[in-house]
Structures are given as C-alpha cells and as structure tokens.
Amino acid sequence: MNKIFRYLAILATTATALADTAGFAVFRSLAESEKGNLTFSPAGLENLLRSLRSYSSGETRKILNKISLSKPNTHSAMKVRQADAIFAAHNITLNPGFGDVHTVNFGKPVTAAASINSWCNKQTEGMIPTIVQPSDLDANTAFVSANAIYLHEKWLCPFNTETTRDAVFTCANGEKKMVPMMQEENKFHVMREEDWIAVALPYDTKGNNGTPGYFIGILPGSSMDARTFAANFTQEKYNAIRKALRANDPVKVRVCLPRFSVKTPVMELRPALEKLGLSPLFQQADFSRLVKSAPKPLYLSRVIQKCCVDVDEQGTKAAAVTAAVARFKGLPRSVYFNRPFIWIIGELQGNSAPWFMGLYEQP
C-alpha cells in the first residue's frame, strides 16, 4: 500500500512539474538568486521563447517544444502594448515573414546598441531606455531578438492621496523603514488561507472588451517569509489563489499598500533556462527558419530581461524588455575583462600546479 501512495505522489509531482510554465519556473530561480526587490515579466520571457521557437528547426525546435508555455493572453481588458523586433547582422540573410526586422552592423557596437536601445525606449515610453551596452555586441553577433511590454492602468478605486501617510515597513532583514503607505477602504476580492492572505485590486477596464485586470497582492503567512514563498510559487499555486479570490464576492476591506517603484538591472536568465533543459542552445542552435544564410553556425549567448514598475495612488505603470543574443560560433575578436574574472600563472603543458591563481572581483 505504501508503494502505491509513493507512486501516486510521484505522479502528482510530475504532473505539477509538467503543468508549470517557463515563466513561473524562471521566477522561482530568480527569487533564489537575485537580491533585493524583484520585478520579472513571465509574459515577456514566454513571448521571446515563442519567437525563438518560430525561428528554429531540427533539434533546437524539439528542445524548445518541450518547454511549457502559457497561452498568449489575447482576452485581457487591460490595454497592454506588446512588440517584437529582430536586429540582424548586415552579413546574414533572413527568410521573409518575420515582422519588424532591423539590419545593423554589429561591427560598430556603439551604433548597433543605440539602434536596439532606441527601439526599447520607444516601446516602453521611456521606462526602459537601455537593454544592451556596446560591450555586449561585436562582429560575431548574428542577431538580437527582443520583446517589449508596456502597461499603464488606472485603479477602478483610486487611493486618496490625502490619506497616504508615512508608516513603518519591516524589511526582510528585520530593519524598519518609513514608507509612503497608501490607504483605501472599499469592496475588493479578498481571501485568507493558512499560508497566505490575498487581495485583488481592480483596474478601471470597464467598457473594454476582455477579462478585467487586477493587481493581486499576496502576503505570506507568519510562518513563511516572502522570499521563500516566491521561491516555491508555482503555476498551480497561482491558479489556486486566483480561484479562491474569484469564489468570494467582493467585501469591504481596508487595504494599506506602499507607494513603490522598482527598477531591476539587466537580469541574466540563462542559468534559469539551462535548468529547464535549454543548455544545448547555448552551445549551438539551429535558427534556419529565420536565418537563410550565415557565415558560421549560431548559438545563443545570452537571454536577458530588464523590468520597471511604478505603483501609486492613481494606478500602475510597468514595462519589460526581454532579449536573446545569438552569435556566430568561432574565436572571439576581443576579450573584455570588465567583470569579475579568474587568473592563473602557469604553463599550458604538463600537470604541475599553477604558480599563482586568483579571483579578481573588484578594483
């Protein structure tokens, strides 16, 4: 009997893993690895992965097909603006039919970076003015695929600026800080379970076609900190919280929410994607559906994302840019030691110990 229960438990765990999507899996990895406040766009990442899948053939396509993605949200009443673009090297030929294509000379990285960043700045209304630096690009760059998302929504029940007061916020490390705390008492969907309390604050999407949009705030129970909760947050858990909130009619509740603004630096998503099984694509990738001819085979070198969110008494503004950098396989034309590196003094032959070795982490 115990064997049966263990078998059923394995099946349940496997089913949950298969049902989970790339967006939630990467969010959990970032919650474990990133420090401080975290802003991430699951939709931005999944949109980019869909693009890469449409570019791919052969074994690369098989690998990308194994990644679980959510259904694209085409029924939201929120006016979310999305855009995709390809910045292709001037020495490759692309197949037709791939939308917004920009030809750039990556041998001139300053100009190429300016072109990509100008597009990001425009698509996000200035919230994300840059996603790449000239040092990220060189003559071995084949293409950069980018996705941008921009959202600007007003609350259905705005917070009264006159009731915003400085109040204590207890940080993760126990430090107490004063923050501008917004306050609103109204009818909202709210629910409490053993390990969480959640409230759904509606955006003013009345009159728009599609399903209403919400800001869902989740406060973990006293037995679990927010970082641990986030590191274990699955698609299944998200759906359960949404279902619980929908099950109850709105009730009058007083909500106190900090006015906040979070801007993340560029986040490297490669480690999280490698955990999902995409490691082979960072060695060699077949993007022949997109690239008709190229001087050398390709591989993904980076998948990155940058996000920004502003929440105030009037509503929410948020933007994200997610990008994949594809490069030609071959020897680098430059090596730029502009980040921590390991150094060794020794010989290239033999098995003797290095004379010296070290890690240079900061000037």
Sign of the CA dihedral with 47 first, then 39, 199, and 257 last: negative
- Provide the 3-class DSSP secondary structure of residue 142: strand
The H or E element spanning position 145 is strand 141-154
* AA letter at 73: N
Residue among 53, 45, 57 nearest 297 (CA)? 57
Return the number of other C-beta atoms located less than 10 Å from residue 96's C-beta.
Answer: 6
CA dist 232 and 2 (Å) reads 27
Domains in the chain: ranges and CATH: 18-150+263-328 (3.30.497.10), 161-261 (2.30.39.10)
CA dist 244 and 190 (Å) reads 9
Q: What is the pLDDT of residues 98-137, one digit of tens each?
A: 889 999 999 999 999 999 999 999 999 999 999 999 999 9
CA dist 235 and 228 (Å) reads 16
| 3-state secondary structure string across 31-52 | HHHCCCCCCCCHHHHHHHHHHH
Alpha helices, DSSP H, located in the chain:
2-19, 22-33, 42-55, 58-65, 109-123, 226-231, 235-247, 270-273
Which pLDDT tens digits describe the chain residue by residue (363 residues)? 333 333 333 333 333 333 589 999 999 999 999 888 899 999 999 999 999 999 999 999 999 999 999 887 778 888 899 999 999 999 999 999 988 999 999 999 999 999 999 999 999 999 999 999 999 999 999 999 999 999 999 999 999 999 999 999 998 888 898 999 999 999 999 999 988 999 999 999 888 898 899 999 999 888 788 999 999 999 899 989 999 999 989 999 999 999 999 999 999 999 999 999 999 999 999 999 999 988 788 999 999 999 999 999 999 999 999 999 999 987 566 676 766 777 777 777 777 787 777 788 777
**φ, ψ at 51 (rounded to 5°):** -65, -50
Q: Hey, what are 223's tokens?
A: 């037995």
pTM to 2 decimal places:
0.86
To the nearest 10 degrees (0 to 180), the angle between helices 22-33 and 42-55 is: 120
Q: Which residues contact 306 (CB under 8 A, 6 or more apart)?
A: 128, 130, 131, 264, 265, 266, 267, 320, 321
* AA letter at 30: L
How many residues are given for the chain?
363
24: left (phi over 0), alpha (psi -120 to 50) or beta: alpha
Q: What is the pLDDT of residues 198-242, one digit of tens each?
A: 999 999 988 889 889 999 999 988 878 899 999 999 989 998 999
The β-bridge partners of 292 are none
CA dist 321 and 267 (Å) reads 11
